[in-house]
Amino acid sequence: MSIDATLLWAPLAWVGDAWRERVLLRAGADGRWADIAVDTPAPAHASVLAGPALPGMVDAHSHAFQRAFAGLAERREGAHDDFWSWRDGMYRVASRITPAQLQAVAAQLYAELLQGGYTQVCEFHYLQHQPDGSPYGDPLALGLALADAAEHAGIGLTVLPALYERAGFDGTPLSERQQRFRADADFVWTSARRLRSLGRPLLGAGVAIHSLRAAGEAQIRRLQQLAEGDGGPIHIHVAEQMREVDDCLATTGARPIERLAQLVALDARWQLVHATHAQPLEMQAVARAGAGVVLCPGTEANLGDGIVDLPGWTSAGAALSIGSDSQVSRGVAQELQLLEYSQRLSLRRRNVAAEPRAGMASSAERLYSQCLQGGARAAGFEAWGLVGGARADLVVLDPADSALLGLPAVRALDAWVFSGAGTAVRDVMVNARWVVREGAHVQAQATRCAFVAAMQELTPSPACGRGQG
């Protein structure tokens, strides 16, 4: 896609972790910010933005195929429902989806993420093979479907092929339903290198380990060896569920985060996804190593995972980011709201994330700043945000949205996160190209039609009548 140099002027923009007035932004032909100047009059030939401007957020943890399951697991038919019963239902979708269906589902998801304020997504990719576990003619068929979907939507994508070799800490082999997840360290590393070699401007790759439950010590060490000297991110699910903690303790004598630190030398490349059940010493060790933590409040609430110790992680100094994970929520504002509200409910306090002593009296502003920085690391970026050399991504909020209506513009983040439905995103730019205009994705109609067709194939509508309401 061709990119023209763009000169933009914002009455208000989030630059350097604070609102700045009269901001001039120039995007170069390479799709990066060439110049950003504050307190600058608007040139006559500049495009004036319609509202407060924010850097795009990174969605640091996504399973795109699970967008096809969102809304289909909200009934309890038996005596008990938890993460593990949810997983059984999710596997039924995972066992059927084809590359073409995955592309359609992911394209819809990525368009929704853009409308929700994300401009980059980290795809934790463990859906690798045909349903019976045999490889596609192109072993990267499902990864390429994700890349094509992201290119169609216009969002940046970091694909993280995931190591997945077993079903439990005790070495239980993969079940029949898990065969299409099977991937050893060499497959993962080869997939990541091939994705990088495609040369697509918005496509990057790192690697992932599904979990300590799904990967043994030898393969984890093999992947670490292959990635030695590589600067790309390494993600892993860890300590999401108490059953995982208990099983890890029973099998290894250590808690999951503790066990991970025994197996690998954590550093800034490592991103611990969820880390819901972490103890203070584990938090301190993660922060000292420079590793990051990816929180997914919408999914963690939906699955009943538990409430993360946000003050513990922030006090330890860990880098934080957010992710959409199972896609039950797909907007920045919803994730940040749930993150803060879970703390308020747990601690019976307000504005838990705020830190007035550090000049951050706003919970929304502090969380946004923290997750911008942590998300950039999770995606493998050195430069991110409204800063020279970073990719020219931009989110413009709509001052006419009901959440922002009539409020001072400098309270835009507070209002977007805490007083509306998360619908205040008006325009979104990625790589100096507008992909959302006036709240609508530029490919909305075609994307939606393909998604509906895929969903009709994957989830036939139940019969109406008895038992349906």
**63 catalytic residue (yes or no):** no
In tens digits, the chain (469 residues) has pLDDT values of 333 348 999 999 999 999 999 999 999 999 999 999 999 999 999 999 999 999 999 999 999 999 999 998 899 888 888 888 888 888 888 899 999 999 999 999 999 999 999 999 999 999 999 999 999 999 999 999 999 999 999 999 999 999 999 999 999 999 999 999 999 999 999 999 999 999 999 999 999 999 999 999 999 999 999 999 999 999 999 999 999 999 999 999 999 999 999 999 999 999 999 999 999 999 999 999 999 999 999 999 999 999 999 999 999 999 999 999 999 999 999 999 999 999 999 999 999 999 999 899 999 999 999 999 999 999 999 999 999 999 999 999 999 999 999 999 999 999 999 998 889 999 999 999 999 999 999 999 999 999 999 999 998 766 544 443 3
pLDDT, position 86 = 85
Q: Choosing from 148, 325, 393, 427, which is the catalytic residue? A: 325
pLDDT, position 468 = 35
DSSP 360: B
Task: Report phi then psi at 356, rounded to 5.
Answer: -55, -35
Tokens of 332: 């920045």
Q: Choosing from 63, 125, 210, 274, which is the catalytic residue? A: 274
pLDDT, position 88 = 85
**274 catalytic residue (yes or no):** yes
Helices 99-115 and 141-153: crossing angle in degrees, nearest 10, is 30
- The amino acid at residue 98 is T
Beta bridge mates, 230: none
pLDDT, position 462 = 62
User: CA 154, 16, 269, 34 torsion: positive or negative?
Assistant: positive
Are 273 and 296 in contact, with CB atoms under 8 Å apart? Answer: yes
Q: Angle at Cα 218 formed by Cα 214 and Cα 224, nearest 5°?
A: 90
Nearest-angstrom CA–CA distance, 326 and 300: 9
**What pTM value is reported for the model?**
0.96
pLDDT, position 433 = 96
At the second CATH level, the architecture of 57-379 is Alpha-Beta Barrel (3.20)
Tokens of 452: 């509906």
- The amino acid at residue 152 is H
CB-CB neighbours of 406 under 10 Å: 8
Class of domain 6-54+394-439: mainly beta
Nearest-angstrom CA–CA distance, 346 and 137: 50
Spell out the domain ranges in the chain. 6-54+394-439, 57-379
Tokens 């490889």 label which residue? 135
State whether residue 19 is helix, strand or coil. strand
User: CA 312, 256, 345, 58 torsion: positive or negative?
Assistant: positive
pLDDT, position 80 = 84
**Which among 127, 102, 125, 137 has a CA at the least distance from the CA of 181?**
127
